[in-house]
């Protein structure tokens, strides 16, 4: 990764919009930022008209003036953005083909943001040109340390149905399949007479009689295409910038949204990824059956970003109440939460934090999306809390670059994420399962990673994990099954959930027993299965007297005794009572388990405990469920982050720790304030434990 200075030590910034404020305010803003310890500002992501107010008439006066002032603040550096998230009105009016359209083919009108599509040739050229012009003009500016491409690719919408997208999809399919015969075969087009005889007949989704009946194989390719389109668009801008931007300045983009394979994006289109973290969304938007963990749901999202960028930045960290002009969606952070959420990001691997935004907008759509300062521009408690947070982080000089530690991983892959979107069972079951594992990992203080399998994943990438959970990999290619097999043979423990391995990478169901290419490794096949609905007798299984709930789906597993497969748990109720629900097979130095059901939090906790993977740090410290534990670094560098999402509480330190924020030595019962944070280290000798 190219880091430049922002990642060499933990660095703090703000999102700033000089175009929203009188120029007379710029200097005092920069002075107040400097006083608080803010040393990076992100600018220009929506400012196209300031660079090209009329087609081809480029001017840089505005940001030249702003950057000239910034240059007089040697401590303050700039992340400059390409402004393509909001194409100007002159552009969309003259070239309406750049606008995105909905599935019904209705083009978006100008306005809001991200109203463009990625494939219109004129839009790609206009985007390349503005990126190139900005790179040329500002590429070597001494105040600029890095670049952000666009803003939040695939936010607002992650589907694209403009004419240019239909056209580009055809080209994409021709490259993928070569012939119409191959396409017809891959999409199973003989069904319902969908076979194409000419490429002109092929489209992305369009209005049909009943939207539940889209061709599933086409829909999967459609999402792959959306993702490839976004990546190619980002790459176009990256390459245009790189022609002018020296290699010691990074190029990134921000956010994680749907239908975009960020693992492919990182490395192809950006040097590393930045996330936009608004934890208060979690309080009102709870996924999964349990409704638990909303207070820290963003930890899962941060682990997800880390899957793409082991070290990353947070380009937008929530600092105030959230809302747009038509809604006030999230409440104001309570005292302590701005600091807590910032440390949540640091604990999960962020080395750069930029709060959104320096000051709340006084006009426009985002007048209710509060930043650090409010409309009145007075110093306030949020600024004091941000200042304190920066001072705290300065006490952790070795933090940047330390790897987040985890021995458990939850696997994901884009084929399954996307294939599960259209149905009412696979997608919801995956989400519920992930929520269950999140809750179990959180409440047992078991640090975890999320890992995305792709065609480049090697068994070595998984080797650091004692337990790998792949909840519902319905699509599983032989190549990925082979990677999992090698991981197990080398000593790993793999747990697969219901409906594994019955589809190939086209989303078709080959005529072979599930779990398909991984059945041999499991030493078991699935005889039959069924959804478990509220109308069914609730089903559960028992493992050595411990109850494992088996919601949503039940597979009947048929273990092959000849392969040495053991049944660990049997369904004790429900439709398939008395049949195997959980198996184990020892393979090489490791183990593989097939579980026939969806995952609930209690079952995930029991499985974690049963596999000896729960609470790896219990010999060092004991925490209540309201606190999260995250660990960065190894040996004597290791830092333990204790994040308290609730009221004042007590943790028990079983060894002598140093509190790195207060320099106090601590052992035994130790208080953690409401929304408090402790960053602890062991002395060098115990650090090796």
Positions touching ligand GAL (CB under 6 A) are: 151-152, 155, 276, 316, 356, 366, 369
In angstroms, give the least distance from the CB of 557 to ligand GAL: 44
In angstroms, give the least distance from the CB of 350 to ligand GAL: 16
Measured from the CB atom, the residue of 316 and 584 that comes closer to ligand GAL is 316
Distance CA 251, CA 1 (A): 10
Q: Which of 45, 52, 222, 316 is catalytic?
A: 316
Measured from the CB atom, the residue of 366 and 584 that comes closer to ligand GAL is 366
545: left (phi over 0), alpha (psi -120 to 50) or beta: left
What is the torsional sign of CA 484, 488, 492, 494? positive
Q: Which of 45, 52, 152, 485 is catalytic?
A: 152
Note the helical H segments in 492-539: 519-522
Measured from the CB atom, the residue of 151 and 389 that comes closer to ligand GAL is 151
Measured from the CB atom, the residue of 127 and 550 that comes closer to ligand GAL is 127
In angstroms, give the least distance from the CB of 280 to ligand GAL: 12
Helix (H, G, I), strand (E, B) or coil at 147: strand
The residue to which tokens 């002032």 are assigned = 69
In angstroms, give the least distance from the CB of 152 to ligand GAL: 5
The residue to which tokens 């009329």 are assigned = 54
Distance CA 197, CA 175 (A): 17
In angstroms, give the least distance from the CB of 164 to ligand GAL: 24
Q: Please, which residues have CB within 8 angstroms of residue 604's CB and are 6 or more apart in sequence?
A: 436, 437, 439, 440, 441
Q: Please, which residues have CB within 8 angstroms of residue 93's CB and are 6 or more apart in sequence?
A: 110
In angstroms, give the least distance from the CB of 320 to ligand GAL: 10
The residue to which tokens 């960290």 are assigned = 317
Note the helical H segments in 243-361: 262-268, 281-284, 297-308, 337-347
Measured from the CB atom, the residue of 52 and 366 that comes closer to ligand GAL is 366
Question: What DSSP assignment string belongs to 163-211?
Answer: HHHHHHHHHHHHHHHSSHHHHHHHTTTTGGG---SSGGG--S----S-G
Q: Considering only CA atoms, which of 277, 349, 264, 287 is closest in space to residue 316? A: 277
Measured from the CB atom, the residue of 366 and 628 that comes closer to ligand GAL is 366
In angstroms, give the least distance from the CB of 86 to ligand GAL: 10
Question: Known catalytic residue: 185?
Answer: no
Measured from the CB atom, the residue of 274 and 623 that comes closer to ligand GAL is 274
Distance CA 584, CA 576 (A): 19
Number of H-type helices and E-type strands within the chain: 20, 27
Distance CA 585, CA 521 (A): 8
Q: Please, which residues have CB within 8 angstroms of residue 499's CB and are 6 or more apart in sequence?
A: 426, 429, 472, 474, 514, 529, 553, 555
Note the helical H segments in 359-493: 381-393, 414-419, 426-443, 459-462, 478-489
Question: Known catalytic residue: 366?
Answer: no
Distance CA 194, CA 189 (A): 5
Measured from the CB atom, the residue of 149 and 155 that comes closer to ligand GAL is 155
Q: Please, which residues have CB within 8 angstroms of residue 644's CB and are 6 or more apart in sequence?
A: 340, 626, 627, 672, 673, 674, 675, 676, 677
CB atoms within 10 A of CB 676: 21
In angstroms, give the least distance from the CB of 46 to ligand GAL: 7
Measured from the CB atom, the residue of 316 and 392 that comes closer to ligand GAL is 316
In angstroms, give the least distance from the CB of 276 to ligand GAL: 5
Measured from the CB atom, the residue of 127 and 539 that comes closer to ligand GAL is 127
Q: Please, which residues have CB within 8 angstroms of residue 427's CB and are 6 or more apart in sequence?
A: 420, 421
* Phi and psi torsions of 350, nearest 5°: -75, 140
In angstroms, give the least distance from the CB of 316 to ligand GAL: 6
Positions annotated as catalytic residues are 152, 316
């Amino acid at each position: 990764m190219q880091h430049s200075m922002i990642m060499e030590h933990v660095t703090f910034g703000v999102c700033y919009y000089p175009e929203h404020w009188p120029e007379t305010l710029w200097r005092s803003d920069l002075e107040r930022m400097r006083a608080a310890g803010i040393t990076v500002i992100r600018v220009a992501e929506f400012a196209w008209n300031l660079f090209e107010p009329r087609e081809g008439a480029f001017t840089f006066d505005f940001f030249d003036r702003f950057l000239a002032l910034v240059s007089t603040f040697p401590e303050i550096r700039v992340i400059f953005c390409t402004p393509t998230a909001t194409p100007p009105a002159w552009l969309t009016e003259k070239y309406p083909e750049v606008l995105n359209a909905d599935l019904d083919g209705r083009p978006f009108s100008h306005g809001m943001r991200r109203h463009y599509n990625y494939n219109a040739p004129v839009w790609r050229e206009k985007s390349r040109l503005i990126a190139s012009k900005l790179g040329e003009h500002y590429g070597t500016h001494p105040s600029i340390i890095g670049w952000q491409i666009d803003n939040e690719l695939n936010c607002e919408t992650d589907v694209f149905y403009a004419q240019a997208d239909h056209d580009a999809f055809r080209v994409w399919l021709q490259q993928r399949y070569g012939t119409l015969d191959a396409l017809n075969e891959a999409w199973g087009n003989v069904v319902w007479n969908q076979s194409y005889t000419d490429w002109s007949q092929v489209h992305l989704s369009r209005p049909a009689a009943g939207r539940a009946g889209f061709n599933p194989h086409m829909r999967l390719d459609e999402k792959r295409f959306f993702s490839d389109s976004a990546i190619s668009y980002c790459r176009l801008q990256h390459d245009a910038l790189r022609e002018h931007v020296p290699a010691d300045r990074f190029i990134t983009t921000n956010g994680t949204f749907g239908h975009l394979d960020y693992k492919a994006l990182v490395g192809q289109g950006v040097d590393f990824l930045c996330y936009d973290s608004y934890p208060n969304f979690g309080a009102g938007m709870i996924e999964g059956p349990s409704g638990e963990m909303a207070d820290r749901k963003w930890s899962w999202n941060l682990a997800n970003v880390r899957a793409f960028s082991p070290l990353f930045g947070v380009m937008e960290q929530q600092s105030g109440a959230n809302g747009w002009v038509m809604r006030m969606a999230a409440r104001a952070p309570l005292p302590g939460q701005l600091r807590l959420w910032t440390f949540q990001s640091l604990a999960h691997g962020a080395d750069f934090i930029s709060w959104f935004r320096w000051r709340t907008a006084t006009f426009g759509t985002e007048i209710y999306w509060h930043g650090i300062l409010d409309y009145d521009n007075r110093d306030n408690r949020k600024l004091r809390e941000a200042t304190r947070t920066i001072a705290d982080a300065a006490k952790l000089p070795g933090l940047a670059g330390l790897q987040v530690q985890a021995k458990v991983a939850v696997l994901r892959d884009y084929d399954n994420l996307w294939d599960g979107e259209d149905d009412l069972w696979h997608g919801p079951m995956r989400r519920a399962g992930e929520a269950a594992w999140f809750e179990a990992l959180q409440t047992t203080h078991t640090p975890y990673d999320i890992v995305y399998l792709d065609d480049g994943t090697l068994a070595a990438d998984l080797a650091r994990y004692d337990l790998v959970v792949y909840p519902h990999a319905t699509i599983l290619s032989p190549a990925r099954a082979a990677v999992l097999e090698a991981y197990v043979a080398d000593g790993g423990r793999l747990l697969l959930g219901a409906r594994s391995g019955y589809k190939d990478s086209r989303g078709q169901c080959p005529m072979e027993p599930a779990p398909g290419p991984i059945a041999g490794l499991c030493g078991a096949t699935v005889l039959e299965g069924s959804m478990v609905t509220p109308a069914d007798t609730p089903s559960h299984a028992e493992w050595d007297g411990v109850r494992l709930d088996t919601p949503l789906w039940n597979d009947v597993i048929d273990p092959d005794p000849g392969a040495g497969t053991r049944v660990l748990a049997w369904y004790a109720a429900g439709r398939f009572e008395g049949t195997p629900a959980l198996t184990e097979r020892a393979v090489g130095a490791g183990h593989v388990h097939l579980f026939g059901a969806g995952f609930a939090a209690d079952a995930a906790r029991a499985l974690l405990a049963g596999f000896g993977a729960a609470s790896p740090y219990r010999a060092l410290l004991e925490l209540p469920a309201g606190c999260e534990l995250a660990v960065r670094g190894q040996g004597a560098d290791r830092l333990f982050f204790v994040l308290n999402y609730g009221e004042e509480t007590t943790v028990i330190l079983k060894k002598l720790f140093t509190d790195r924020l207060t320099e106090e030595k601590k052992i035994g019962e130790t208080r953690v304030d409401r929304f408090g944070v402790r960053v602890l280290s062991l002395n060098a000798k115990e650090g090796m434990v």
